[in-house]
C-alpha cells in the first residue's frame, strides 16, 4: 500500500518512506502541518531534457551510424519527382509551374560513418511518419543513388561548375599539373 502525502497542494506518493511530518505551532492562531519532502525520483521516471540520438542504424551490421556531414535537403523540379511521393499529376504540375523548385519535407542526403565498416557512405534518409504521439522518430535509409544528387540543394556539381566554359576548365587543369 502506498501512502499519499499532500504538500503545497500537490499529492506525492510516499514510496521511499523518507517523508518527515512535523507538527508546527507558530505565532498565528492556525495550526498546520509542515511536510519536508526528500523524494528522489528514479531515473526512468524522470523527464529527460536532453535530446535523444537519431535512430540511424547500419543496414548491413545494425550498429549505430554517426553523422559525418550536414544534411543536404532535397527538392523537386519536375512533376515526376512529386508524383513519386504521392502527389497526383494535376497538383504536381501546378506546384512545379508556380515554383521552380519545391522543397521535399522529411528527405535529405547525409554522409554517415559506420564503426563496423570503418567507412563513410552517403545515404538517402526518409523520415517516416509517427504512428503514436510520443513515439521516437523513425527513419528509412538507403544508399544515395546518383540521380538523387541532382535534386539536392547546396551540393557541389561533380563535373565542376557548369557555368565555366570548356576552355577555362582545360586551362585550369594544365596549370594544376
What gap in Å lies between CA 135 and CA 121, rounded to an integer?
Answer: 28
Q: What is the dihedral angle through the alpha carbons of 137, 140, 146, 147, rounded to the nearest 10 degrees?
A: -80
- In order along its 177 residues, the chain shows pLDDT tens digits of 555 555 555 555 545 454 444 444 444 444 444 444 444 445 555 666 666 778 888 888 888 999 998 999 999 888 998 998 889 999 999 988 998 888 899 999 999 999 998 999 999 999 988 888 777 888 999 999 888 888 887 777 666 777 888 898 888 888 876
Question: Which of 35-41's residues contact partners 24+ apart within 8 Å by CB, and which partners?
Answer: 35/5, 35/6, 35/7, 37/5, 37/7, 37/12, 39/12, 39/15, 40/16
Question: Can you give the residue ranges of every domain in the chain?
Answer: 3-36, 65-156
The pLDDT tens digits for 2-41 are: 555 555 555 555 454 544 444 444 444 444 444 444 444 4
| pLDDT for the residue numbered 59 | 86
Residue 160: per-residue pLDDT = 73
Exposed e or buried b per residue across 41-54, where buried means at least 16 C-beta atoms within 10 angstroms of its C-beta: eeeeeeeeeeeeeb
Res 155: pLDDT: 74
Amino acid at each position: 500500500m502506498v501512502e499519499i502525502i499532500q504538500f503545497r497542494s500537490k499529492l506525492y506518493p510516499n514510496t521511499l518512506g523518507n517523508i518527515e511530518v512535523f507538527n508546527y505551532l507558530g505565532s498565528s492562531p492556525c495550526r498546520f502541518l509542515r511536510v519536508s519532502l526528500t523524494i528522489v525520483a528514479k531515473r526512468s521516471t524522470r523527464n529527460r531534457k536532453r535530446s535523444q540520438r537519431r535512430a540511424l542504424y547500419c543496414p548491413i551490421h545494425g550498429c549505430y551510424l554517426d553523422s559525418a556531414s550536414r544534411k543536404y535537403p532535397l527538392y523537386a523540379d519536375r512533376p515526376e519527382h512529386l508524383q513519386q511521393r504521392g502527389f497526383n499529376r494535376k497538383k504536381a504540375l501546378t506546384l512545379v509551374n508556380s515554383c521552380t523548385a519545391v522543397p521535399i519535407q522529411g528527405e535529405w542526403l547525409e554522409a554517415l560513418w559506420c564503426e563496423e565498416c570503418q567507412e563513410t557512405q552517403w545515404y538517402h534518409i526518409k523520415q517516416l511518419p509517427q504512428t503514436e504521439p510520443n513515439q521516437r522518430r523513425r527513419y528509412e535509409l538507403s544508399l544515395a543513388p546518383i540521380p538523387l544528387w541532382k535534386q539536392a540543394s547546396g551540393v557541389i556539381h561533380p563535373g565542376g561548375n557548369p557555368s565555366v566554359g570548356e576552355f577555362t576548365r582545360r586551362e585550369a587543369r594544365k596549370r594544376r599539373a
